[in-house]
Amino acid sequence: MRTKVDIIDQIDGTCYCDAIIHEKDDEYYCRHDYVSSSIREACQDMVLSDEQLKVIRERLLRSINEGLSKETHASATVKCFITYVQDLPSGKERGKFLALDLGGTNFRILLITLGENHFDMKSKIYAIPQSIMTGSGVELFDHIAECLLNFIKDQGVYKQQLPLGFTFSFPCQQLGLTKGLLSQWTKGFNCSGVVGQDVVKLLKEALQRRGDSTVDLCAILNDTTGTLMSCAWKNPNTRIGIIVGTGCNACYIEKVENVELFDGDFSKPYVIINTEWGNFGADGSLDDILTEYDREIDRNSLNPGKQIFEKIISGMYMGEIVRLMLVKFTKQKLLFNGQVSEQLNTKGSFLTKYVSDIENDEKDNFTKCREVFHELGLSHASDQDCMNVRYICEIVSRRAAHLVSAGAATLINKMDFNSVTIGVDGSVYRFHPNFHDLMVGKITQMVKSNVKFDIMLSEDGSGRGAALVAAVASCSV
């Protein structure tokens, strides 16, 4: 006889605590009991054991220490770039500040006003055409500069000298608060003439080409730093910022004596480190957990062999991992009666949004799942197919959540604070119905027993956080 506890405790990676759907004669059944055994078996390589996660934490810690070391930084896969942000918001910052948030196919410009018990934010989203994403750097920064100047004119602040925080959410080696060299493009960008260049300088030059001299570009930061700063404005206990969206990255507060390349203010004990952990695994340290689907995605990416950790977690790739699994299982006649639709066969057709939608279905219906199937030309799917596909989505998203949790636990244990707030932002974390709970549960298992932690959703971290960095930087001058 199987009890409710048996359901909750069975193989980690397959069940949620709220997944019990049937009770009969004092025996409990989980919805995963109705998933085809052949699908369960075919998905086993996506399930990470606690022992595997322990090994991953050990390897990530080693990679982080290599990034912090002067001797090994150049060859390190996890670069641990110095942000030069050493002051967190005090809550006393006042004035108007601009923020520019570039990190995906769209970018945002924000005007933020900070006052006593007052916060006001106006923003606008601008698109970046595909031709610009893969064109020249000059075209990219000219486009951004034009949009920025149009925005400040629309807001009536064109003649005001306003500090601007620039969130640049790509791997970037900072040489100071206002100087950052692009290490490599990610997220589908491949603009020429930018890698190795100072992106702050490129933006300033683009603004100068338009005759602007009013914008004071006083800080460049990563979106993880913005997330940390945004949460720290409300909760000074914030020590970590994590993004789980189109990409995946983390920053954390490190003691300056542990940062061998640091050449800033040693009178302040800490500095925020942008880990760039998305590149973890580029040296082969994740090869033993990569599946055939991960390897195919990497081979067909714009940056094969790089950003491995990001590729098995982030929203840019999660839906495609599921699609590759569905195509394989359908060809093996484990799904959809062996009938693969043209849409399902099309790369990128299974959006990461679909993963969240399917997992959002009530336990005993498949409304959203069938809407997705209709979009993909799979209207012939059976209820059994729906159960199987939901299970596949859960396996893929749970692996991602557990990997992020392993990373977060690594940072928490390394910092050795008794209490830590983790600021998190990004579309996957925000919209997936179980990601937060999965992280809380798994981090709890992996952190030191004396540590208390909580996870805080960042409110517009990469935008508000950029303005706060600008505010802190300008107010401390």
251-306, pLDDT tens digit by residue? Answer: 999 999 999 999 988 999 999 999 999 999 999 999 999 999 999 999 999 899 99
- For the cut 90, the answer to whether the pLDDT of residue 368 exceeds it is yes
Q: Determine the topology of domain 83-234+460-475 in CATH.
A: Nucleotidyltransferase; domain 5 (3.30.420)
The pLDDT of residue 103 is 78
The pLDDT of residue 416 is 85
- For the cut 70, the answer to whether the pLDDT of residue 432 exceeds it is yes
pTM as predicted: 0.86
- The pLDDT mean for the chain works out to 90
Strand, helix or coil for residue 35: coil
Q: What is the mean pLDDT of residues 145-161?
A: 90
Domain locations along the chain:
1-34, 83-234+460-475
Contact (CB, 8 A) for 27 and 2 = yes
Q: Is 187 a catalytic residue?
A: yes
Q: What is the mean pLDDT of residues 103-107?
A: 83
The pLDDT of residue 93 is 79
The pLDDT of residue 7 is 41
DSSP state of 105: S
- For the cut 90, the answer to whether the pLDDT of residue 25 exceeds it is no
Contact (CB, 8 A) for 144 and 106 = no
The pLDDT of residue 408 is 98
The pLDDT of residue 4 is 45
29 or 429: whose pLDDT is higher? 429
- For the cut 90, the answer to whether the pLDDT of residue 20 exceeds it is no
Give the torsion sign (CA, 166, 167, 170, 175): positive
Strand, helix or coil for residue 185: coil
Task: Choose, from 187, 306, 368, 442, the residue flagged as catalytic.
Answer: 187
Name every residue whose Cβ is closer than 8 Å to that of residue 285 and which is 6 or more positions away in sequence: 59, 63, 77
The pLDDT of residue 193 is 96
The pLDDT of residue 404 is 98
Rg (CA), the chain: 23
- For the cut 60, the answer to whether the pLDDT of residue 477 exceeds it is no
The pLDDT of residue 302 is 85
Contact (CB, 8 A) for 468 and 229 = yes
Distance CA 202, CA 307 (A): 25
Comparing 1-15, 216-230, 330-344, 462-476, which segment has the lowest mean pLDDT? 1-15
Name every residue whose Cβ is closer than 8 Å to that of residue 74 and which is 6 or more positions away in sequence: none
187 or 253: whose pLDDT is higher? 253
Task: Choose, from 223, 294, 361, 425, the residue flagged as catalytic.
Answer: 223
Q: What is the mean pLDDT of residues 89-93?
A: 79
Q: Is 223 a catalytic residue?
A: yes
Q: Which of 390, 291, 388, 396 minimizes the C-alpha distance to 330?
A: 388
The pLDDT of residue 31 is 59
